[in-house]
């Protein structure tokens, strides 16, 4: 598509306005005083007439619309062809007026953060000019009659593949979907895979990630033997290919972390008004299937860039301040994010794209959907709506890295007998709301060209649409 077609919808919403949903209204109200007193550029965007928007109120973002329109003008000046125009727009973003505004603000503004102090930032114009999104081969694995494709270890994508490798040796269908055996098996495999995530994952341009060994069938068989009848309370990374696990001293010592306001993944925050990551899946009649999980620019976590109408990502909070760790902070390095869309292809030709917001829960909720669909034949919508759960057994990817050994949070509508059985096995079960564990959506394409879609009713945020 031409760039004007792509940006046209966003410009329309920014100029003509959109109806403020209740969660956005609550989020802005919670940080309104911070915006007024400290983050005045955010106040300009999110406090029309000096007050938080009301739920249902129509709101515009003229600064963002102007940014996009200027990008289109720069693109048009770059040449007549689509490729030339896209290249010119990228240059304007990374080395032109957008980069100049970002670099100037980061260098000059002293911003109050969660430490209670004011700091200037470190991001420079050279940083922005020197980076382009790379085209990379996916990390892939087999499960039953499917091939699954994920992002590399600069994100948590391979942990999905590791879980599938472990689960391949269990008969989930015989366990019965949603049973205590089903949930226990998936949870215990997740604990092992996520422990490896903590010990080995990082930007492969900077660290040697033993990815082949992590996905090796023999390694999975070795790790699978650790799954027992009782819930494990340990964080147990393995030694894939003889590699030694690297965990920060605070994790090895089991030091407890205290939650800090303004940090973490809003989707799974205790206060559900804090915001959300986004996920979108698309399938078209030409056979294209896309899964995307863009996220990070939370309006309550970083001030808006003056004149641009948007804020910067705060994903750098996911680095460890430990140079020995694979995800240790370094210049030019990508933080090991939680963003993890999924593509899957059946041997018969069916295609799936699916994913969810949710930080560390993304590859738990997505896994539950995929296993329900593949192992028991549940339809996508039925699998999405099944009672959900997630664990926080391993350190959070977000500062301050809280860990709750053995903790599993389940939806209140989970069968009482299943709940009791999980507790008997030693799981520290917390019961949440009836519809709180998931934000999933999925699309599929059959070999005959039939398209299908499903969306999560939780939080009334997901939609499935076709034409």
Question: How does pLDDT run across 124-150, given as a tens digit for each residue?
Answer: 999 999 998 899 999 999 999 999 999
Rounded to two decimals, the pTM is 0.93
Average pLDDT, integer, range 154-161: 98
Banded pLDDT at 273 (limits 50, 70, 90): very low
- What was the pLDDT predicted at 388? 98
Tens digit of each residue's pLDDT (9 = 90 or more) over 226-249? 999 999 999 999 999 999 999 988
- What was the pLDDT predicted at 59? 97
CATH number at 139-260+316-460: 3.60.20.40
Tens digit of each residue's pLDDT (9 = 90 or more) over 89-106? 999 999 999 999 999 999
| CB contact at 8 A, 158 and 201 | yes
């Amino acid at each position: 598509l031409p760039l004007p077609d792509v940006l046209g919808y966003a410009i329309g919403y920014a100029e003509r306005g959109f109806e403020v949903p209740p969660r956005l209204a609550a989020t802005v109200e919670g940080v309104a005083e911070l915006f007024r007193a400290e983050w005045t550029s955010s106040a300009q965007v999110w406090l029309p007439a000096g007050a938080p928007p009301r739920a249902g109120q129509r709101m515009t973002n003229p600064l963002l619309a102007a940014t996009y329109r200027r990008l289109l003008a720069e693109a048009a000046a770059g040449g007549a062809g689509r490729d030339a125009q896209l290249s010119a727009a990228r240059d304007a973003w990374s080395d032109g007026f957008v980069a100049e505004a970002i670099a100037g603000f980061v260098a000059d503004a002293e911003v109050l953060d969660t430490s209670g102090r004011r700091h200037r930032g470190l991001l420079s114009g050279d940083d922005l000019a020197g980076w382009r999104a790379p085209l990379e081969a996916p990390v892939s694995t087999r499960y039953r009659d499917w091939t699954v494709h994920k992002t590399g270890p600069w994100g948590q994508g391979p942990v999905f593949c590791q879980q599938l490798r472990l689960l391949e040796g269990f008969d989930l269908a015989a366990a019965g979907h949603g049973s205590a055996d089903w949930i226990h098996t998936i949870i215990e495999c997740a604990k092992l895979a996520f422990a490896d995530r903590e010990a080995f994952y990082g930007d492969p341009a900077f660290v040697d990630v033993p990815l082949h060994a992590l996905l090796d069938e023999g390694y999975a068989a070795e790790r699978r033997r650790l799954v027992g009848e009782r819930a494990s309370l340990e964080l147990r990374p393995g030694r894939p290919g003889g590699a030694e696990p690297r965990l920060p001293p605070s994790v090895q010592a089991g030091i407890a972390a205290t939650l800090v306001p303004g940090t973490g993944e809003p989707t799974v925050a205790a206060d559900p008004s804090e915001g959300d990551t986004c996920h979108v899946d698309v399938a078209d009649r030409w056979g294209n299937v896309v899964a995307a999980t863009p996220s990070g620019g939370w309006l309550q976590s970083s001030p808006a860039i003056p004149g641009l109408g948007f804020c910067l990502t705060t994903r750098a909070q996911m680095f460890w301040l430990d140079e020995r760790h694979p995800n240790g902070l370094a210049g030019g390095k990508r933080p090991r994010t939680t963003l993890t869309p999924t593509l899957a292809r059946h041997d018969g030709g069916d295609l799936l794209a699916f994913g969810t917001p949710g930080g560390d829960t993304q590859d738990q909720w997505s896994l539950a959907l995929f296993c329900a669909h593949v192992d028991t034949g549940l339809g996508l919508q039925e699998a999405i709506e099944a009672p959900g759960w997630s664990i926080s057994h391993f350190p959070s990817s977000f500062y301050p890295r809280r860990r709750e050994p053995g903790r599993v949070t389940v939806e209140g509508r989970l069968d009482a007998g299943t709940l009791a059985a999980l507790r008997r096995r030693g799981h520290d079960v917390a019961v949440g709301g009836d519809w709180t564990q998931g934000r999933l959506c999925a699309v599929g394409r059959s070999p005959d060209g039939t398209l299908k879609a499903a969306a999560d009713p939780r939080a009334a945020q997901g939609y499935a649409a076709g034409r």
